[in-house]
Structure 1
Amino acid sequence: MQFGIFTVGDVTPDPTNGSTPSEHERIKAMVAIALKAEEVGLDVFATGEHHNPPFVPSSPTTLLGYVAARTSRLVLSTATTLITTNDPVKIAEDYAMLQHLADGRVDLMLGRGNTAPVYPWFGQDIRQGIPLAIENYALLHRLWREDVVDWQGRFRTPLQGFTATPRPLNGVPPFVWHGSIRSPEIAEQAAFYGDGFFANNIFWPKEHFMRLIGFYRERFAHHGHGTPEQAIVGLGGQVFMRRNSQDAVREFRPYFDNAPVYGHGPSLEEFTAETPLAVGSPQQIIDKYARMREYFGDYQRQLFLMDHAGLPLKTVLEQLDILGEEVVPALRAEFEAKRPAGVPSDPPAGGTASA
């Protein structure tokens, strides 16, 4: 099973001292976090894609290409590649190029994003979000698998005799996850192609995602890709740890209370009771995440959001030490000991470089 981290690249003031990193500092911090992830034995680093303040990762392939040159083992991914507002031709070429540079250590998660103004900035209509996601991926899927493509669709100019370059490494496209928090149409799309489904379940109760993942598993089997248990599932997560659980709660509370995404809403205690957010000792985090299998079945990728809400880089790196040294080894052993034969432990890999 793969364990890793994802970042949304927010530039958020630290509520404990009022300091705000510059964009340059935040970008450099994301690189440091990726390098630390490999150092502590994690499997995946994923970055979001945003084109609006207060976020900085507007060019995921640039960031991941730089990280690829500084790492040797880490799988490089995205926490959303905007399939609705990016040209599928550009996605096909950019991620194939990244795949070559990283010797195959690349996959990506497609999503619609959650920022409405992005659509008109890139010449699209948010009311067409689902049709755009479906049509654009249908084209991207072909661009990676057919050397010459003729295409006619609703949302972009036609293609005649077009070849995307470079071609995927060793003829094997990067593995694709379809990310969603609420849309059965996206779960159906992932199931139809036999791709992965990533449920970023960090804000809503588990029952909602149990239904969505269950639907994806059923449709995966319906389309002939295997049993429901063999479907490729990824989950989000959020944790904050200290040796003493009271210290963890006391230190994290001001960050939670002022976070742009959930501050000034439910209490920390309410949020940890209803969502995957876990704040406490390493053993408490292990205990909570070991139960995810009971709710969602055996799955292949667990990503944690660690560097948000204004947490300083030093604190994030300390968190990664605990995650890599104590939490992940225990969870990895727990999940693999219970995984039935025939159920994949990892998602499929894209093309890997020849020896």
Structure 2
Amino acid sequence: MPQLEEPKIIAGNANKGLAKAVARRMSMHRGMNVGLVDARVERFNDGEIFVEVFENVRGEDMFILQSTSNPANDNLMELLIMADALRRSSAARITAVIPYFGYARQDRRTKARTPITAKLVANMMVSAGIERILTMDLHAAQIQGFFDIPVDNLYAAPIFALDIKHAFRKTMDEVTVVSPDVGGVARARELAQRINAPLSIVDKRREKPGEIAEMTVIGDVKDRVCIIVDDIVDTAGTLCKGAETLMEAGAKEVHAYISHGVLSGPAIERVTASAMKSLVVSDTIEPSEATKAATNIRIVPTAPMLAQAIMNIWHGTSVSSLFDQETLEPIYDGMYSLG
């Protein structure tokens, strides 16, 4: 198939700021304006979603940028309806760019008579006409196997590694990476290897869902700068309790790097009042004004990585090259120059 003049991006309402940032980055790469496709994604009075695309997309390589974050159901339906509109408008290929993949926490049956909602969502996306998925830090890597279409799962770890090496360049020999639970050890170990730091674990035991009975630190964190690594921070209860446990174990400072800042309910108040010196999240979920105003919450951009991934998919080149810090450093325009 001959390559078209440019990839086209259409955005839902979940994270317009990120979509515009990705378009700007792609404009820099292309040396020409790459704007968002003119469309309206609105609600009828009863809440039904209506989509109308105002530009010709026949034969185009389309990328829908839409996180399925809160309100998850509305944003998911927007994505599905946009895909259907593009398919019926004869788009050549439809790729869903989902920086935050909602429902990923329901990836298996944890008890009798419960759904595997991540698989249901995967089926719905394929049925809507989506032919490829680009996402970041899936909660469970096996969700890629729920799809019979290509799934590219990017990682925030290379961005976080660059940021840590820049932010803690004077105290790197004191840094310890901490997994907030046993299940997240693989993610924490990967980051620890990238920055050549030791690894510790906070082992948590629950008496019932939502309530933590006990936390134990596995590993030596005394006088260390501890960096908790996880993929999702929701109400921040576990995160803040983990930071408190680390300080009680003798940690010098506690920071956290979390891929997706859901930050629902009392999360921001908890983080602000916690023992954590800083919480760093990516912008895969559009940050609220309260998040932006929080004194100890910082947001790192994902637009450079996502823009490059879209360009690589469009060109038919490797996306896995973006797993390397050396590849990302020039993409981030020297923001994290380590020289």
TM-score by length of 2: 0.31
Query: Of Structure 1 and Structure 2, which has the larger fraction of its residues in helix?
Result: 1
Larger relative contact order (C-alpha < 8 A, sep ≥ 6)?
A: 1
More strand by share: 2
